[in-house]
Structure formats: C-alpha cells, structure tokens
Amino acid sequence: MNINCIFKIMLLTLCIFIMTVSQPFGGTQSSLNPADSVQPSPAAGNPYQQSKTDSDNTETEQDQDLPKGRMSISVATDLVTLQVLVTDSKGNVITGLRPEHFTVYEDKVKQEITNFSPIEANVTVVLLVEYRKYGHYVIDDIFIQQIYSISEYFARNLRQGDWVGVIGYDIKPIILTDFTQDKMEFLSAMRAIAFPAMSEHNLFDALMDVFDRTEEMEGKVSILLLSTGLNSFSKHTYEEVLERCKEATATLYTISLGQYFRAILGEDRAAQYLGVDALGLSSIDLSMADNRLRFFSEYTGGNVYYPRFDSELPTIINNISALLRSQYSIGYVSSNTKKDGKFRNIKVEVNAKVMINGKEAKLKVKTRKGYKAQEF
C-alpha cells in the first residue's frame, strides 16, 4: 500500500471521528427545542394588570384570552375607524343600514368610506364608580343602594363572552376588579363600595386615568360612568378632560347619581349636603355637574342619563346594553395627508327612509367628534 493510500485512509478516519464527537449525547436532533429558540411574549393587553418581571415567562390561559392592546386612533395608521350609532328620536336603535346610507365628512371635506360592517358583538366595559363618603348615613345609603341596583341590572345584561372591569374613585382611582367574565366576581367588586373612606371626588383625574388605561385596548371599548359629576381637588382641569374626550378611543356612557336625593330635598338643600368637608355647594354647582357629564359623554359618542327614581334603571341599562352591541363600524382613509398632529372634526350623516308605526323616523347619529392626526 503506497503512502497516498495510507494518508487518505488516515484522513477519512479523522473526519469520521470529528463528526462522531460533535453529535450531542443521546442521539441526533432534527430541530431545536422551540422553548429554547423562541422567547415567550409578554402578558398581553390587559391594562389593569401590573407588568410581570422578566423572569416570569408564564401566561395563564385566561391572560391569553383577555382584551388585547392596540394603538390609538391618534397614532396608529391613516385608516380612521368610527363606531357609529343610529337611533330614532326616541332613542331606539336602527339596524339594517348599508354603506350608501352614510356620508362622512372630515373638516367639512367628504371622505370615501373604505370599510363598513354592522356590529352585534360582545362588549368590553369598564365601570368607573364614584364612591365618596358624604358623612350622613342616610345619604350614603341612598347612593350605595343606587350603585347596587345599577350593578345588579347591568349583570343581568352581561352575556357569555363579555368582559367587565371595575374602578372606583374618591381622591384617586382604585381598581376593584380586573377584567372578568364572572358575574359574581363583578358583583362582589361592586359590593366593596359599601364602605367609602374619603369625602373627595376627583372625577377629572379618574377620567384621565381610565382613558389612559383603555387607549391601547383592542376592539370596541366602552366606559360606564356612575357619578354625580362633582369634582373636588383634581390635578387635571375640566378643559383638559374635555379635550381628551374628543380624541378618546373609548365611548363614555354616564348615569348621574343622586338625582333622587335632589328631587326629594330640592336642589338648594341637596347641594348643601353634597359639598366636601362641610363646604356646601349651590344649585348652580349641581347644574354644572350635570352639564359636565353630558359634554363628556357626547364628545366620545356616548350618552348620559339622569334617573330620578330606581324604577327607571332597568330601561336605562337595557338601552345602554343595546347601544353597546348594535353599532356600525365605518372606516376611511383621510384625504388630508398632513402629519401635523392637529385635531380634525368628524361629522357623519345618514340618509335613509326608515318607517316606524307607519311614519318616517327622524334619524340621529352618534359618533366621536373627531381625532388627532398622526404627527411626525
């Protein structure tokens, strides 16, 4: 055997040896373990959960199903999406409309509708509840009982697949329960309002907080506010909240608390009891509170209710439930391509002949007032 043959045999033996020792013990692997190669995504979307640490890489099955995050209309894409509600003059929801029945204007310029779909879906709702201490056991009991009644009627309207969370506020907002689909968990959170500790009611700060929490949530999100509309020592001003309402992604529906109390005692006497730290209010303060609730709701495309008696609550809750579930999603790409960060006014008109009881109904449209354009 010549030297070349011996050299080739030694070289081949060396290659085989190197290939053998390079294999992992226990045999070959056709692919890497996905757990080693793919990092688990962080817990998604629920704005009320505290951020998990980097070492916590586990998501529960419920976390994976919670409402997911999204970008706000003011910073997302050029596609503007509106949730549009159409009712008759009595507030009855109108369904069955088509794209050609709608006209959308942005800063008085007609826009081309590119996306359209009727919505009859599950709801994601945050209850924002005033639970301040009034200092008189009768007044405290009246307010608490009204909150209980509203929560019980609302729970009856919840369907499988609905999500509801509860935030209470006095001097600051406090999460009473994260998003849940469990009616009993929701009702238990509302029952926690039985013992308010603080007399302040910082409505403006609470609204700004809940708008922040819902800004990046996916899909249609609504806020049900239970409040007197009074505000004591908020850091934010009324004007700041009103501007935020104009560009908020969530729709605000409001039930005014204490209207029964005001009806029984009269506006002037009721105002004296509703002050903070023995500082009485006037009937003008109560009227201003009512107007705040109306403007906040209307600017987000929602509605406000002023029930004087608890017998009105079932109808109000049923109406809110219908409004939450039966709307139209309308999308358009703005013809204004400027990225100037300015607020743009939106107007939606509906032109359809709808007959109710043999008469043509006068249709009303509710949607947000506008949005803030994306800025470079």
Q: What is the pLDDT of residues 63-86, one digit of tens each?
A: 445 554 332 333 345 788 888 888
**Rounded CA separation 41/59 (Å):** 9
- 38 has which bridge partners? none
Pairing relation of β-strands 326-333 and 79-87? antiparallel
Which pLDDT value is given to residue 341?
Answer: 83
Q: What parts of the chain have a pLDDT lower than 50?
A: 17-64, 68-76
- 347 has which bridge partners? 105
Which pLDDT value is given to residue 20?
Answer: 46
Which pLDDT value is given to residue 313?
Answer: 93
**Rounded CA separation 362/89 (Å):** 6
Which pLDDT value is given to residue 21?
Answer: 43
Which pLDDT value is given to residue 307?
Answer: 94
Which pLDDT value is given to residue 156?
Answer: 92
Structure tokens at 272: 């004296």
Pairing relation of β-strands 304-305 and 251-256? parallel
Only one residue has tokens 């939450």, namely 324
Structure tokens at 121: 């879906």
Nearest 10 degrees: Cα torsion 214, 218, 219, 225: -10
**Rounded CA separation 78/331 (Å):** 10
**Rounded CA separation 86/94 (Å):** 5
Which pLDDT value is given to residue 349?
Answer: 93
Which pLDDT value is given to residue 155?
Answer: 93
Which pLDDT value is given to residue 109?
Answer: 95
Look up the pTM and report it: 0.67
**Rounded CA separation 185/318 (Å):** 21
State which H helix or E strand residue 185 sits in.
Answer: helix 183-191
Let me know: does 73 contact 80? Beta carbons within 8 Å: yes
Structure tokens at 209: 């907080």
Which pLDDT value is given to residue 371?
Answer: 85
